[in-house]
Amino acid sequence: MRFFSIKPISYLNGEVELPGDKSIAHRAIIISAISQGPSLIINFPANKDCLHTIKAFKKLGVRINLLKADNCHSTYTVKVFGKGLCGLKKPNSNIYVGDSGTTLRLILGVLAGQDFEVVLTAGSSLSQRPMLRVTLPLRLMGAQIKARSKVQKSDTLTPEEYPPIIIKGARLKPITYKIPVASAQVKSAILLAGLYAKGKTTVIEPIRTRDHTERMLKLFKADIKVKKNIIVIRGKKQLISPEVLYIPGDISSASFFIVSAIIVPNSQILIRNVGLNPSRLGIIRVLRRMGGKIELSGSNFQVPVYNSDAPSLEVGEPIGDILVKSSTLRGTIVKDREIPSLIDELPILMVAACYASGKTVFEGVGELRVKETDRIRSMLENLKKMGADIRLIRKREKESIVIRGVKRLKGASVKSFADHRTAMSLVVAGLNAEGKTRIDDISCISKSFPDFIRILKKIIS
Ligand code: S3P
């Protein structure tokens, strides 16, 4: 337990650079591990989830060295000695992935194509998160998978599946699969399995989600084609490492600073070298629509110097700086189709909506129920305690959140629900609230952004 108190601040000012993007970092380890040749990964975030991906691939026989710790930025330079598509080894015990959903769902895609069995176990929160969305398509490709299953009250025909999971890979067959829920993790698991299938695997997304897997696979010379929401990958082709990869700063981590600077008067901050992949920029589009003063500049990326005679860094992702100033916000409607591009930013956007004039609606947010915690519940309960006018609307299957702006939130005793994004959103809410805010436990923040409080302290007055 790590209690945390926040008092209102006067303003934010300064410049920050953030650890690498969590989603991209997982993929960098996974794809490097199954490619030919070594990969040097720079600006790798030292968070719990990404370290679980490293541990998992070490157990599968991949040599991975943490070369240099940059304590100033909480990042590592990591060297992965790729084993090629078929070089992984059966681990001598279970692989524990902690509470990292991305580690588990993506590694299942890789393990589906191996000729050995692996038992995957998870922490208490991930053990309650649904896995059928991944196990179902991987079984269709030929993998043998057993998982803990539980019959759902609402749908007795299809029991949901949860970790622990036992997976035995096979000679995979390619499939054409229409994903029922918009999920980059599900898409990525199928694409990674597709690397092992002979022929064309096709994934069709209902709404386009983050495309880091597709971009990185292209960088590693996979045979992959993307046309709108349809991705086609041809398997059985070795991946070739680009040698050096730079992970851009995490836009999801940046979102907490962006909203802080917007809601606290007289603030201005510059966030350098952030990943500006359009599939992740929902937060910027929505905040700008609400009147947020946010400028992006794509041209300022300075390749960090780490070794004078090193080959050039590969990125494969747009990068730029974000300048944010205090702004007066007005409400907006966030449509279902926008949700995947800001799924992890919904909690912090709810905080921003509390400071917007009029009504903000977040439509079709049901997926928040199956994140690290039920984020609909965690944000509704906490923001209500802080005096927000927030409610949930259910129409048939669809859940939406409606927030009416208030003059100012009030400090209160709130709970993180052991969820990193709920915790960081509450810290931000407290920065401009009237009186003191007390959060029960913020140790969960280390799941994605252990340095959050330290960086925040640098730019607040
Ligand atoms: C992620 C995809 C999203 C997101 C998660 C990271 C990824 O999950 O919420 O934090 O790296 O692919 P879903 O695929 O479940 O939407």
Task: Give the residue whose CA is nearest to atom 11 of ligand 1.
Answer: 23
Ligand 1 mutation target, pool 107, 183, 213, most atoms within 8 A of CB: 183
Alpha carbon of 102 to ligand 1 centroid (Å) = 7
The pLDDT of residue 308 is 44
Which residue is listed with tokens 């086609």?
A: 232
The pLDDT of residue 89 is 98
Ligand 1 atom nearest to 370, measured from its CA: 15
Alpha carbon of 187 to ligand 1 centroid (Å) = 10
Alpha carbon of 381 to ligand 1 centroid (Å) = 24
Rg (CA), the chain: 21
> What mean pLDDT do residues 224-241 have?
97
CB contact at 8 A, 434 and 382: no
Give Cα 103 to chain centroid, integer Å: 11
Ligand 1 atom nearest to 344, measured from its CA: 9
Beta bridge partners of 295: 323
> Which CATH topology does 22-243 take?
UDP-n-acetylglucosamine1-carboxyvinyl-transferase; Chain (3.65.10)
Alpha carbon of 287 to ligand 1 centroid (Å) = 21
Ligand 1 atom nearest to 133, measured from its CA: 15
Q: What is the pLDDT of residues 196-232, one digit of tens each?
A: 999 999 999 999 999 999 999 999 999 999 999 999 9
The pLDDT of residue 461 is 85
Query: Residue 324, by phi and psi: left (phi above 0), alpha (psi -120 to 50) or beta?
Result: beta
Ligand 1 mutation target, pool 48, 52, 102, 207, most atoms within 8 A of CB: 102
CB contact at 8 A, 362 and 376: no
First to last CA, the chain: 27
Ligand 1 atom nearest to 22, measured from its CA: 11
Active site members: 344
Alpha carbon of 375 to ligand 1 centroid (Å) = 14
> What mean pLDDT do residues 167-196 have?
98
Q: What is the pLDDT of residues 124-166, one digit of tens each?
A: 999 999 999 999 999 999 999 999 998 876 655 789 999 999 9
Alpha carbon of 210 to ligand 1 centroid (Å) = 8
Task: Give the residue whose CA is nearest to atom 10 of ligand 1.
Answer: 344
Ligand 1 atom nearest to 187, measured from its CA: 14
Q: What is the pLDDT of residues 292-335, one digit of tens each?
A: 999 999 754 554 544 545 556 678 899 999 999 999 999 999 99
Q: Do domains 4-18+248-458 and 22-243 have the same CATH topology?
A: yes
Sign of CA dihedral 44, 50, 53, 57: positive
The pLDDT of residue 428 is 98
Class of domain 4-18+248-458: alpha beta
Which residues' Cβ are closer than 6 Å to ligand 1?
23, 102, 183-185, 188, 210, 343-344
CA atoms within 13 A on the CB side of 54: 21
Task: Give the residue whose CA is nearest to atom 15 of ligand 1.
Answer: 183
| Domain ranges across the chain | 4-18+248-458, 22-243
